[in-house]
Amino acid sequence: MVDMVRSFWVWVSTAALILLWLPLLVIIRLFDRNPVRYTTGRMFRRLGWAITKVNPLWSLKITGEKISDPKRPYVIVCNHQSFADIPLIANLPMEMKWLTKIELFKLPVVGWMLRMAGDIPVNRKNKRAAAQAFVKASRYLSQKCSVIFFPEGTRSPDGLIHRFTDGAFQLAIRAQAPILPLVVDGSYDCLPKRSWRFGKPREIFLKVLEPFDTAGLSIDDTEKVRERIRNLIIDQIAEWRGVDPAAVDAMKAQST
């Protein structure tokens, strides 16, 4: 019963914040002349910060590298445990454009806000449209705005780190942009799939790892870079959990 009441409060407060944010975002968008809609996007991310603050079940601890220049363009990559990762990552003091499945852009209110913020729709069923999304991401990088990927492609079904796709790493190498790895842990049970109930109160960890320089690398280095970043994320989660890295790596778990 307590869990139901808490979950009801979180959903009501989140809905209220979204409805409050929509007209604010419209007004800011009308006056935002920046080609990457930096101010509009930044205001949209602040919604994630507000959602985190009103949620009594989430205690977010951010550690790691300090973001000294929020307008330095990175290709940001992060593991993905839960839908909660999105508002949690939005607590970072920088603007980043999200590559988001196109279905979310079709939703009322939230979809409108995604479009106003300049986020990037990805149609996974259309290879040409997916390629266009990467072109747009590359354009943002050239305009000094970061983009963020979940290289696992979807939420982890078991809290382990699954295979990473190449896209984010190829983009970074082609653009000669640094990769900024993020690691999140503790959010897996925050909002389980196919459930409206939030999990029990949890401490969630978000760490900003040291940027990885891609200067001088070629597309042939994609696999090496991808696995390097993936292993850094695995090692950090293993350290938090106090386990061997192999216990966090879904690919090793599947092979045993």
**CATH number of the domain that residue 22 is part of:** 3.40.1130
- Tell me the C-alpha distance between 24 and 10, whole Å: 21
Instruction: Assess contact for 122 and 101: CB atoms under 8 A.
Output: yes
pLDDT at 20: 96
Structure tokens, 132: 């266009």
Question: Distance between CA atoms of 17 and 48, rounded to whole angstroms?
Answer: 10
The four Cα atoms 251, 254, 255, 256 give a dihedral, to 10 degrees, of: 130
* SS3 call for 222: helix
Looking at residue 255, its pLDDT comes to: 58
Alpha-carbon distance of 252 to 256, in angstroms, equals 7
pLDDT at 147: 98
Could you tell me the residue range of the domain that residue 224 belongs to? Answer: 2-255
pTM equals 0.93
pLDDT of residue 192: 59
Token pair for 218 = 């070629």
> Which residues, given as ranges, of the chain have pLDDT below 70?
1-3, 191-199, 201, 253-256
Mean pLDDT of the chain: 92
Number of domains in the chain: 1
Tens of pLDDT, residues 67-85: 989 899 999 999 999 888 9
